[in-house]
Amino acid sequence: MVYTANENRYGAMNYRRCGKSGLKLPEISLGLWHNFGGVDRYETGRETVLAAFDAGVTHFDLANNYGPPPGSAEIAFGRILKDGLGAYRDEITVSTKAGYGMWPGPYGDLGSRKYLTASLDASLKRMGLDYVDVFYHHRPDPDTPLEETMTALADIVRRGKALYVGVSNYDPEQTARAVSVLRSLGVPCLIHQASYSMLNRRIEDGLLDVLGKEGVGCICFSPLAQGLLTDRYLSGSIPEGSRASRGEFLKPDSITPELLAKLRALNDIAKAGGRTLAALAIWWILRDSRITSVLVGASSSAQLRENLAALSRPALSNEELERIEEILRR
């Protein structure tokens, strides 16, 4: 399939330096956790990825287990690369991860050198790549010595299979230790991938301070709270095909009347500023200069375009931020 990227792709996107590294990431990145699996329509996923790249989104986030079935999002992404995007390999940043259960037995989960090394090799094969740009340890392993996990990451960089490494879902103390071990091995920790949105502010309790102090970037996943911070559920009903309708990761009973009242109040602020609720949610995250990128998901290119349109409006004013704060406190 022939694909020629939009000539003006770098016109509308800003790029933020990732911590103190040389790597810049787009303010909005695209994640392939949902909607790109073997059960999903390939053409829709390809359209979404290409719409992203055409709008200056240079960063695509995967993991070994994304699908379903696990591994199939990497296979689909490999196909998208083969179907045209691969011609732009030097213009894109590809991330993948290992840390959750991937294959049976003692070597297919958590944080051993054995698991991380084998998993990245399998990811590269699925995507048809020689290297990824960023390889993450996906979650802390309570039993493997951190030194072993970090040495495995550093060796992966030395072997040229990843250009940078990062961690995900580590708490502030685990992060500080990981950063320090990696530094002692001569391989800096590039980035932390953490959940952050108006509905989940845990990283404000210490993690952002650690990242700021250590010069590590921060990319925020589930910035739209899996769709809650969009117009998807504002009417009070659960649209067919939506993530909540599938019920596995976003539970319909989490959409309580109290939550809906909060979302509608936030939506009023968005509307008054000429934005969508998704745009408000994205700019709210980007208000902090320690954040490198907002990592959105999308089940169609239309959703993605709507989210990217956030960037065509100005940042939130202090007054808007104060009104949001007041609503979030309720």
User: Which residues would be at the binding site for ligand NDP (CB under 6 A)?
Assistant: 31-35, 61, 138, 168-169, 193, 221-227, 230, 232, 242-243, 278, 295-299, 303, 306-307
Q: Would you say 7 or 240 has its CB closer to ligand NDP?
A: 240
Task: Name the DSSP letter for residue 170.
Answer: -
Q: Which two tokens stand for residue 77?
A: 């992404």
Give the C-alpha separation, 316 to 282, whole Å.
10
CB 284 within 8 A of CB 320: no
Q: Would you say 221 or 283 has its CB closer to ligand NDP?
A: 221
Q: Token match 């809906």: residue?
A: 260
> Which residues are within 8 A (CB) of 13 and not within 5 positions of it... i.e. 6 or more apart?
26, 27, 28, 55, 56, 57, 58, 311
From the CB of 44, what's the least distance to ligand NDP, in Å?
A: 11
CB 30 within 8 A of CB 24: no
Q: Would you say 33 or 115 has its CB closer to ligand NDP?
A: 33
CB 216 within 8 A of CB 187: no
Q: Would you say 79 or 97 has its CB closer to ligand NDP?
A: 97
From the CB of 294, what's the least distance to ligand NDP, in Å?
A: 8
Please classify residue 322 by burial: count the beta carbons closer than 10 Å to its beta carbon, then call 0-12 exposed, 13-18 middle and 19+ buried: exposed
Which one, of 127, 134, 130, 129, lies nearest residue 74 by Cα? 127
From the CB of 207, what's the least distance to ligand NDP, in Å?
A: 13
From the CB of 186, what's the least distance to ligand NDP, in Å?
A: 25
- Amino acid identity for residue 79 in this structure: R
Q: Which two tokens stand for residue 199?
A: 């509905």
Q: Would you say 97 or 161 has its CB closer to ligand NDP?
A: 97
Q: DSSP characters for 3-61?
A: ----TTTTSS--EEE-TTSS-EEESEEEE-SSS-STTS-HHHHHHHHHHHHHTT--EEE
Q: Would you say 176 or 294 has its CB closer to ligand NDP?
A: 294
Q: Would you say 164 or 221 has its CB closer to ligand NDP?
A: 221
